[in-house]
Amino acid sequence: MSILTIILFFLYSWGFGFTITSFVKNSDNFLERNLMRIGIGLGVLPLLGVVLNLLHIPLDWRIFLALSLLFPLLYLMKNYKKLEFNEFKLKIKKSDIAILIVLLLFSLTLFMYATGAFSYPYFEDHDPYIHALTAKYVSVEKTILDPPTYDFPYIDPYPPAYALIMGLMHQTSPSIMWTLKFFNALIISLGIIFFYFFAKEFIGNRNKALFATFVLAAIPAYLSHFIWAHSLVPTLFLVGMYCLERMKHDKKWLYPSLFVISVFPLIQPSQAIKIFVLLGIYSIIKSLLNRKLLLKEFIAISGGYLISVLWWYNKLGRQFSSEAKIHSGTEFAKIGLFQKLKNIFPYDGGTGTRAYTFDDFFVASSQNMINNPIGVGVVISVLLIVSLAIILIKYKKLLSKENYWISVTLAWFIFTFLGVNSMTFNLPLGLFAFRFWMLFAIPVALLSVEGSRYIAKIFKEFGVGKMITFTVIIAGIILTSGHQKFDLNTMPWNPPLGGLMQSVEELQGYVALKDLEPNTRVFSFCPDSYINIISFDKSICSWCERENSVIGDKDVASDELYSVMKENDYEYLIVDSSCALNFGINETNEKINEMMALNKFQLAAQNDDFLLFKTV
């Protein structure tokens, strides 16, 4: 564990958040003010990285630290005599108690995700290994642009926010595996805090927001500790919504809203489209209910997406070039626009997309998808159904200007429900249905509030107090949703055999590398082995021209291989199953014998699918 890196994460985030909100009317609550600064700063950080990259300034942690603390220190120097230090005295208010409960939920969530993530000494799927490679590159080279010799899957043209954050954290943390596992879990867990403050502003009721936050934390479909860029999406969406909601207190919140919203297209391409629709629903419904165009909300949303052009201005073509190639040709050119959209966004797109049944929603299970779990749970589903029934019955009262949050949330629910079920209902378009679950959980949590209040009201008529009713509801949510979510996220997940790792023996060989110092120089000419080497905390410059020319070359002479390693300070060499898979078993054995005959490679460890040589 790198305590320094954790401290730096909060310093970067809080410092940028303080800077960007210094001129707006912040919350009167000390905890809310500073916790949301962390979220806003986290949202601003990737945009700053893109700007620095455009200016050819290295993405170095010292530069980010200096920039994050520059304005807070200047502010302190200028205003230290005016600061009212009495606000730091311990004065617990009702609002603070609610926040402390939310912080407890955050802590339990982080404990759950971190426990599961660190319960096994490897990454759980192909995606995390590629994210590790990309974060290592950003960390070492201090840029988010591809080198001439290598095309990274998750930066340039792919949006760089996740790689930038993880690469920055890795600059002060020696272990890439620890960095990705911990900060991925932390980012997801922080979303619980940000949801509460957004919901409090959105609903206008602290107790309702607190209950909705508990529900969100318990919903299995609201993210797992799986490592991918999507982890940032709900967390920063909630921060952006908080900024938009604060505009009713101070119109200058337009500017923090702009900057946070600008990061959505810098996280993940398809999720940026979904978030844009959710934001559009919010602004359109509020405008209709107010019977006037809410111009500042529209400016914040459209302007934020326009700011992202700083990254996308010369990359859109490359990002979607694969789709263009798939759908290029005379026939595709002849069809209409809608048919083209159907081809590009098929209803069954996405590796985890399938048709869902009622039980998939109603019954939560510990046996679930690891990248985006599905399911809501029995009690939460009942609350949701009751809420929808109440809204239909009392729509004139509930779907009003004063209760705009219900109208917006209902529209969010319909959009995300259809998004999840694009294959179930055989819709004309889809947008990676299984990735909708994490967004679907947000309106479910918000809507459950009305159902719980109505049930409590009914039971009160029979002499059952609210406290007893809510205690039973909370216990039911824990038993039918929270328990299953906890089990899924704390159990060890199986290794991703068949992709980058072909066997348990090969995995054991890489896990054993932990006995070497972090970032020990380890080389391999086998295709894809460099990804595993980096992921297991060793160092190889696979994107460097000299090394890149050798990797994947089955005909490289052993003496040339040795020269490349010595010239670049590599101490160890790995031969694993990817050599046999790509070069052939006989050819790989011949290469091993050739190396051994050179007497410059000493066998240090081996099993059936993994050999580790030390250079002499």
**pLDDT for residue 149:** 83
Q: What is the mean pLDDT of residues 271-297?
A: 96
**β pairing state of 572-576 and 522-523:** parallel
Phi then psi dihedrals of residue 141, to 5 deg: -90, -15
Tokens of 48: 């700053």
Q: What is the mean pLDDT of residues 183-205?
A: 98
- Flag whether pLDDT at 395 surpasses 90: no
Give kind and range of the element (H or E) at residue 522: strand 522-523
- Flag whether pLDDT at 342 surpasses 90: no
**pLDDT for residue 32:** 97
- Flag whether pLDDT at 86 surpasses 80: no
CA distance 212 to 201: 13
Q: What is the mean pLDDT of residues 230-237?
A: 97
Q: What is the mean pLDDT of residues 196-205?
A: 98
- In three-state secondary structure terms, 9 is helix
Name residue 253's amino acid.
W
Spatial contact of 45 and 64, defined as CB atoms under 8 Å apart: yes
Please state the separation of Cα 531 from the chain's center in Å.
21
Give kind and range of the element (H or E) at residue 62: helix 61-79
Q: In terms of pLDDT, which residue wins out, 351 or 152?
A: 152
Give bridge partners of residue 610 from the DSSP assignment. 576, 607
The CATH number of the structural domain formed by 504-615 is: 3.40.190
Percent of the chain topping pLDDT 70: 96
**pLDDT for residue 351:** 81
- Flag whether pLDDT at 381 surpasses 80: yes
Q: What is the mean pLDDT of residues 260-284?
A: 97
Tokens of 67: 């920039």
Reported as a pLDDT band with limits 50, 70 and 90, residue 90 is low
Of 580, 607, 590, 601, the C-alpha closest to 556 is 590
Reported as a pLDDT band with limits 50, 70 and 90, residue 319 is low
**pLDDT for residue 198:** 99
**pLDDT for residue 347:** 87
Domain ranges (residues) in the chain? 3-78+94-319+350-490, 504-615
For every residue of 566-604, DSSP letters joined together read HHTT--EEEEEHHHHHHH-HHHHHHHHHHHHHHT-EEEE
Q: What is the mean pLDDT of residues 448-452?
A: 96
**pLDDT for residue 340:** 74
**pLDDT for residue 320:** 60
**pLDDT for residue 399:** 81
Reported as a pLDDT band with limits 50, 70 and 90, residue 269 is very high
Helices (H), 219-315: 232-246, 254-261, 269-290, 295-307, 309-312
Dump strand ranges (E) for 110-230. none
**pLDDT for residue 333:** 59
For every residue of 457-521, DSSP letters joined together read HHHHHTT--HHHHHHHHHHHHIIIIIHHHHHHHHSPPPP-BTTTB--HHHHHHHHGGGGSPTT-B
- Flag whether pLDDT at 469 surpasses 70: yes
* pLDDT digit string, tens, across residues 558-594: 999 999 999 999 999 999 999 999 899 999 999 999 9
Position of tokens 């010369």?
Answer: 314
**pLDDT for residue 150:** 87
CA distance 561 to 597: 14
- In three-state secondary structure terms, 61 is helix
Spatial contact of 163 and 144, defined as CB atoms under 8 Å apart: yes
- In three-state secondary structure terms, 127 is helix
- C-alpha torsion 464→466→467→468, nearest 10: 30
Give kind and range of the element (H or E) at residue 404: helix 404-420
